[in-house]
């Protein structure tokens, strides 16, 4: 039996912090009530919020240059589920896990589903991988996958995606995220239009295999590994392809997949307006696809994204349900600590956006009062909602201070004993 944090330990640690939290919470309740906001309603909203974990995020990531493995890293998908379970146990905001195949392939889907259920987890969208060659596959993706000129390579990539749908279906997932690294490194290497035509042909075959209640998420990315021209480089291409494919195809926005300074919140607004915003991969970046912890570099951008999501939810109601996932790589931190902190930062941005005085905002917009409109957003962004987030966790059975509790539990030390280092292992599970 692998080590788990004892709920009694959580209760004891919370008991020490509870009085301070209660007083912070009451102080914030007073501030918010003067603004006409009900703290209890906000706490309920925070408790209902969820963001899915990337299975590949619980191992130490690595860069193109090196990977410095951590202690007690997960050895397989079952260990990953244990770590995701711990993150959810303490934060109560991450009930979904997003798997990546073939990294997370298992022959025993029932056992995996059972393991997840024991932690109160379910499976969110599954991810295919045709940006690497898997051991033993017949054809290489060196020159592309869904867009490859060789029809046998394309057929293999399509078959892998259909296999992912079947694996996900057995696990209770409801979506497939497709990100491909296809493109060109040199001008002239590829016929730009031809590549997209082949992509659409491949995606039509994948789309046809989707169960009735599934969505396919098209994830765009500006560059890397194709450094001259990436086939699905931007939201325009993603939107056009999702439109061509049909209503079960939506666009997925990974915050790290744009040129620096791109107005991502405007992309969010556009996709939401036209009913094609499928979901997110949250992370943060300074330069490119840095995969840093959410909210660690530009929390204001994250807030502005959620401000657009709030607007879309107000307009479209229950019909607007984008999938929220983290997609990060952890190189210098304990992945569990990074994922807990990031999930809470995403939840924080959601709550700050809920605090926007929308009446005041539209009043200032109507009067062309740019300064006061900006100040209205800033007032919400500057509000420290930490006490609400902590109270939401406490009431849902989580930790008032997840990182402090995790460290006090010595979870990682237990895992170091349980999971001895294996030479050559990588975070994704591919050796």
Our finding on whether 124 is near ligand PSV (CB under 6 A) is: no
Our finding on whether 219 is near ligand PSV (CB under 6 A) is: yes
Residue 334's binding partner out of Mn ion, ligand PSV, none, with CB under 5 to 8 Å set by partner kind: none
Residue 127's binding partner out of Mn ion, ligand PSV, none, with CB under 5 to 8 Å set by partner kind: ligand PSV
Give the span between the Cα atoms of 188 and 338, in whole angstroms. 42
User: Which residue shows structure tokens 């056009």?
Assistant: 240
150 contact partners, CB below 8 Å, separation of at least 6:
139, 143
Our finding on whether 254 is near ligand PSV (CB under 6 A) is: yes
Cβ-based nearer residue to ligand PSV, 29 or 203? 203
Cβ-based nearer residue to ligand PSV, 5 or 251? 251
Nearest-approach distance from CB 98 to Mn ion, in angstroms: 10
Our finding on whether 254 is near Mn ion (CB under 5 A) is: yes
Cβ-based nearer residue to Mn ion, 160 or 258? 258
Q: Contact with ligand PSV (CB under 6 A): which of 250, 281, 419, 425?
A: 281
Our finding on whether 393 is near Mn ion (CB under 5 A) is: no
Nearest-approach distance from CB 179 to Mn ion, in angstroms: 6
Q: Contact with ligand PSV (CB under 6 A): which of 79, 289, 311, 334?
A: 289
Cβ-based nearer residue to Mn ion, 82 or 289? 289
Give bridge partners of residue 339 from the DSSP assignment.
Answer: none
Our finding on whether 80 is near ligand PSV (CB under 6 A) is: no
Binding track over 323-342 against ligand PSV, x by CB under 6 A: ----x---------------
Q: Which of residues 325-344 bind Mn ion (CB under 5 A)?
A: 327
Binding track over 371-400 against ligand PSV, x by CB under 6 A: ------------------------------
Our finding on whether 127 is near ligand PSV (CB under 6 A) is: yes
Residue 199's binding partner out of ligand PSV, Mn ion, none, with CB under 5 to 8 Å set by partner kind: none
Residue 307's binding partner out of ligand PSV, Mn ion, none, with CB under 5 to 8 Å set by partner kind: none
Window of 159-167, 288-296, 388-396, 398-406 that interacts with Mn ion by CB under 5 A: 288-296
CA angle 131, 74, 6 (to 5 degrees): 140
Give the span between the Cα atoms of 302 and 268, in whole angstroms. 11
Residue 301's binding partner out of ligand PSV, Mn ion, none, with CB under 5 to 8 Å set by partner kind: none
Binding track over 54-73 against ligand PSV, x by CB under 6 A: --x-----------------
- The sheet carrying 53-54 orders its strands as 53-54, 96-98, 122-123
Q: Contact with ligand PSV (CB under 6 A): which of 49, 101, 141, 179?
A: 179
Q: What is the 3-state secondary structure (H, E, C) of the chain?
A: CCCCCCHHHHHHHHHHHHHHHHHHHHHHHHHHHHCCCCHHHHHHHHHHCCCEEEHHHHCECCCCCCCCCCCCCCCCHHHHHHHHHHHHHHHCCCCEEECECCCCCCCCHHHHHHHHHHCCCEECCEECCCCCCCCCCCCCCCCCCCCCCCHHHHHHHHHHHHHHHHHHHHHCCCEEEECCCCEECCCCCCCHHHHHHHHHHHHHHHHHCCCCCCEEEEECCCCCCCCCEECCCCHHHHHHHHHHHCCCEEEEEECCCCCCCCCHHHHHHHHHHCCCEEEEEECECCCCCCCECCCCCCHHHHHHHHHHHHHHHHHHHHHCCCEEEECCCECCCCHHHHHHHHHHHHHHHHHHHHCCCHHHHHHHHHCCCHHHHHHHHHHHHHCCCHHHHHHHHHHCCCCCCHHHHHHHHCHHHHHHHHCCCCCCCCCCCCC
Our finding on whether 182 is near ligand PSV (CB under 6 A) is: no
Binding track over 22-61 against ligand PSV, x by CB under 6 A: ----------------------------------x-----
Residue 284's binding partner out of ligand PSV, Mn ion, none, with CB under 5 to 8 Å set by partner kind: none
Q: Which residue is nearest to ligand PSV (CB)?
A: 179
List residues near Mn ion by CB under 5 A.
254, 281, 289, 327
* Binding stretches for ligand PSV (CB under 6 A): 56, 127, 179, 219, 221, 254, 281, 289, 327
């Amino acid at each position: 039996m692998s080590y788990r944090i004892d709920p009694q330990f959580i209760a004891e640690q919370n008991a020490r912090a509870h009085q301070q939290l209660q007083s912070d919470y009451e102080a914030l309740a007073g501030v918010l009530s003067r603004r006409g906001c009900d703290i209890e309603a906000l706490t309920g909203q925070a408790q209902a919020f969820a963001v899915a974990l990337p299975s590949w995020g619980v191992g130490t990531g690595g860069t193109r240059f090196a990977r410095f493995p951590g202690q007690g890293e997960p050895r397989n998908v079952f260990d990953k589920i244990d770590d995701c379970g711990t993150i959810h146990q303490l934060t109560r905001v991450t009930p979904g896990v997003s798997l990546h195949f073939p990294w997370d392939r298992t022959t025993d889907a029932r056992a995996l589903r059972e393991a997840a259920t024991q932690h109160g987890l379910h499976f969110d969208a599954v991810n295919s991988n045709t940006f690497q060659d898997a051991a033993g596959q017949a054809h290489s993706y060196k020159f592309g996958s869904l867009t490859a000129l060789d029809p046998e390579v394309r057929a293999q990539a399509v078959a892998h995606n259909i296999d992912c749908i079947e694996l996900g279906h057995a696990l209770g997932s409801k979506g497939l995220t497709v990100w491909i690294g296809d493109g060109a490194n040199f001008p002239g290497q590829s016929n730009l239009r031809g590549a997209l035509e082949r992509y659409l042909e491949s995606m039509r075959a994948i789309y046809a295999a989707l169960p009735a209640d599934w969505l396919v998420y098209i994830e765009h990315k500006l560059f890397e590994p194709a450094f001259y021209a990436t086939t699905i480089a931007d939201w325009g291409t993603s939107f056009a392809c999702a439109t061509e494919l049909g209503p079960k195809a939506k666009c997925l926005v990974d915050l790290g997949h744009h040129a620096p300074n791109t107005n991502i919140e405007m992309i969010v607004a556009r996709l939401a307006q036209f009913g094609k915003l499928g979901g997110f991969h949250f992370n943060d970046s300074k330069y490119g696809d840095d995969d840093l912890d959410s909210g660690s570099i530009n929390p204001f951008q994250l807030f502005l994204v959620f401000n657009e999501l709030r607007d879309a939810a107000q307009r479209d109601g229950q019909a607007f349900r984008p999938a929220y996932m983290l997609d990060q790589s952890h190189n210098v931190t304990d992945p569990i600590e990074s994922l807990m902190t990031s999930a809470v930062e995403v939840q924080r941005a959601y709550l700050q956006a809920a605090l926007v005085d929308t009446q005041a905002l539209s009043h200032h917009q109507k009067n062309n009062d740019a300064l006061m409109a900006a100040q209205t957003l800033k007032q919400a962004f500057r509000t420290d909602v930490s006490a609400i987030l902590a109270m939401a966790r406490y009431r849902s059975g989580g930790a008032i201070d997840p990182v402090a509790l995790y460290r006090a539990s010595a979870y990682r030390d237990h895992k170091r004993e349980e999971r001895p280092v294996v030479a050559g292992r990588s975070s994704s599970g591919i050796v």
